[in-house]
Amino acid sequence: MTTSFRIRALDPAYLEAIRTKGSDDFGNAVTTVANEDAGGTPLRCCLREAGLGEKVALIAHQPAQIGGPYMELGPVWIHADHCEGYRTPDAYPEGFRHRQLLFRAYDAQGRQVGNQIAEGAVAEAVIDELFSMPEVASLHARNVLAGCYMFSVERAS
């Protein structure tokens, strides 16, 4: 099946540099903890939830690379050790399928131009609907309650 979109998780090289340096791009130390919250620790490196005892770290991440007034900085969980990243960018992350997510739509200038909450079961339909608006360049999936950034969705080239 060919999808009309590409899922973009955090770049493995970007995360490896942060692990090596021992701090994120905003000066916060990378502190490794053993996950204690099964189902409550969504990993933004490989787009699944951490299991009990998995070594994870919380870093600050700025998902909008363009900057401008919609630029936001927020916390994201990552694997504390090397992670290969998300390997199936043409498929919606099954590790988050059970979650309801907020999809924020941005135009090419990084301005927010739409929002929609979607159940994981129908996420692809909501993504297609948002991309049916020609001004939408990319989407950010966010945690509905905490508001935290989960992953990006781009149009398939």
Q: How far is the CB of 91 from Zn ion (least distance, A)?
A: 16
Q: Which is closer to Zn ion, CB of 43 or CB of 127?
A: 43
Q: How far is the CB of 81 from Zn ion (least distance, A)?
A: 9
**CA-wise closest residue to 115 among 106, 107, 103:** 103
Q: How far is the CB of 79 from Zn ion (least distance, A)?
A: 4
Residue ranges binding Zn ion (CB under 5 A) = 43, 45-46, 79, 83
How far, in whole angstroms, is CA 125 from its chain's centroid? 18
**CA-wise closest residue to 101 among 88, 85, 113, 116:** 116
In contact, 42 and 94? CB cutoff 8 Å = no
Contacts of 56 (CB under 8 A, 6+ apart): 32, 33, 34, 35, 41, 43, 50, 77, 78, 79, 80
Q: Which is closer to Zn ion, CB of 46 or CB of 64?
A: 46
Q: How far is the CB of 55 from Zn ion (least distance, A)?
A: 10
Q: Which is closer to Zn ion, CB of 37 or CB of 135?
A: 37
Q: Which is closer to Zn ion, CB of 45 or CB of 150?
A: 45
Name the one residue in this structure whose structure tokens are 């929002």: 115
